[in-house]
Amino acid sequence: MDLQLNDKTVVITGGAKGIGEAIVRLLAKEEAIPVVVDRDSHATDKLCEELVTAGYRCETAVADLSEDGACEKVVATIKKVSPHVDALVNNAGVNDRVGIDDADTEMFLGSLRKNLLHYYGMVHHLLPDLKKTSGPIVNIASRVALTGQGHTSGYAAAKGAILALTREWAVDLRHYGIRVNAVLPAEVMTTLYREWLDKLPNPEEHLANIKKMIPLENRMTRTEEIAAMVGFLLSPQAGHITGQHLVVDGGFVHLDRSLH
Ligand code: NAP
């Protein structure tokens, strides 16, 4: 299937590592122009240099999106190098384990700043450009929004709000031909996941137990499998899909728990 993404400029937040990196690699190979927005300048430059050396296109805009005013500044930077913006993937986030009994309101707000506010900020500041191109938006959420996880109120609240905003924006922006969808990963081995796992008492035992509970092939979802769904949703091939929550998780959330 031709995703028809060639020459499309796509902004990917948190694009330097993990799921975002896989999305950037897929888009580069589809002859799109990924714009990597990430706070890790070393990983951002390394990824884009590798892609450009291999003959693909890639642009960068280094920023910590949890800082005040960062989205506005980063969009101004993007507009200097990109005459048009054709799509946005909101992906940057961190499961920061701000719970209900061991944190306070300030910490909860801090978690929303890391995981939610910049999703709104990026859409808000890119909207004039996305309206011109009818550019689709994909929001990366999490299965935590559906299942809870424990000890992570801030992250769960942010991811739940991202699902609600996906529907809200799909309604608001339909007159501009802008489609808005959410992808919910569950268990994907990335830097973020490894760091979360390593904070648990018995990480490898915990990982083995999780894999046992994933009905399809008892394995983690690959970053490329999340990227494939995102690439499809960004494509005109998904032209009548909007306001949807797509769970890419080997059946982890929805299939019968008694399966072996
Ligand atoms: P990752 O491996 O940590 O990669 C995320 C990248 O985004 C990193 O380069 C990170 O930089 C950057 N980043 C994070 N916050 C940022 C900010 N405020 N401003 C700019 N850059 C920022 O994470 P991942 O596992 O790929 O997760 C990507 C998304 O998928 C997140 O929204 C996450 O909630 C979601 N998700 C992941 C899983 C999973 O199993 N991995 C499951 C459900 C949902 P630093 O390294 O400096 O933090």
Domains of the chain: 9-248 (3.40.50.720)
Residue nearest to atom 45 of ligand 1 (CA): 40
> Is the CB of 19 within 6 Å of ligand 1?
yes
**Phi, psi values for residue 255, rounded to 5°:** -85, 165
> Is the CB of 122 within 6 Å of ligand 1?
no
> Is the CB of 154 within 6 Å of ligand 1?
no
AA identity, residue 194: R
Gap between the Cα atoms of 111 and 133, Å rounded: 32
Query: Mean of the pLDDT values across residues 190-203?
Result: 91
What is the three-class DSSP state of 259? coil
Gap between the Cα atoms of 74 and 230, Å rounded: 22
Core vs surface per residue 179-188: b (16+ CB within 10 A) or e: bbbbbbbbbb
Name the percent of the chain lying above pLDDT 70.
Answer: 100
pLDDT at 260: 64
> Is the CB of 153 within 6 Å of ligand 1?
no
Nearest-atom number in ligand 1 for the CA of 187 is 40
Distance 222 CA to ligand 1 centre (A): 15
Query: Mean of the pLDDT values across residues 224-245?
Result: 98
pLDDT at 196: 86
Distance 83 CA to ligand 1 centre (A): 27
Tens of pLDDT, residue by residue over 126-152, are 999 999 999 999 999 999 999 999 999
Tens of pLDDT, residue by residue over 61-86, are 999 999 999 999 999 999 999 999 99
Read off the tokens for 217.
């092939």
pLDDT at 192: 87
pTM of the model: 0.98
Q: What torsion do the CA atoms of 12, 127, 79, 71 make, to the nearest 10 degrees?
A: -60
Neighbouring CB atoms inside 10 A of 42's CB total 10
Distance 14 CA to ligand 1 centre (A): 6
Greater confidence (200 vs 111) lies with 111
pLDDT at 258: 81
Considering only CA atoms, which of 227, 236, 50 is closest in space to residue 136?
Answer: 236
**Phi, psi values for residue 160, rounded to 5°:** -65, -40
Tens of pLDDT, residue by residue over 244-258, are 999 999 999 999 978
> Is the CB of 15 within 6 Å of ligand 1?
no
Tens of pLDDT, residue by residue over 88-102, are 999 999 999 999 999
Q: Which residues are part of the catalytic machinery?
A: 155
Name the percent of the chain lying above pLDDT 90.
Answer: 96
Question: What are the residues facing 10 on neighbouring strands?
Answer: 34, 87
Gap between the Cα atoms of 61 and 13, Å rounded: 9
Rg (CA), the chain: 18
Distance 81 CA to ligand 1 centre (A): 24
What is each CA distance from 235 to 19, 192, 203, 229, in whole angstroms? 18, 27, 38, 10
> Is the CB of 188 within 6 Å of ligand 1?
yes
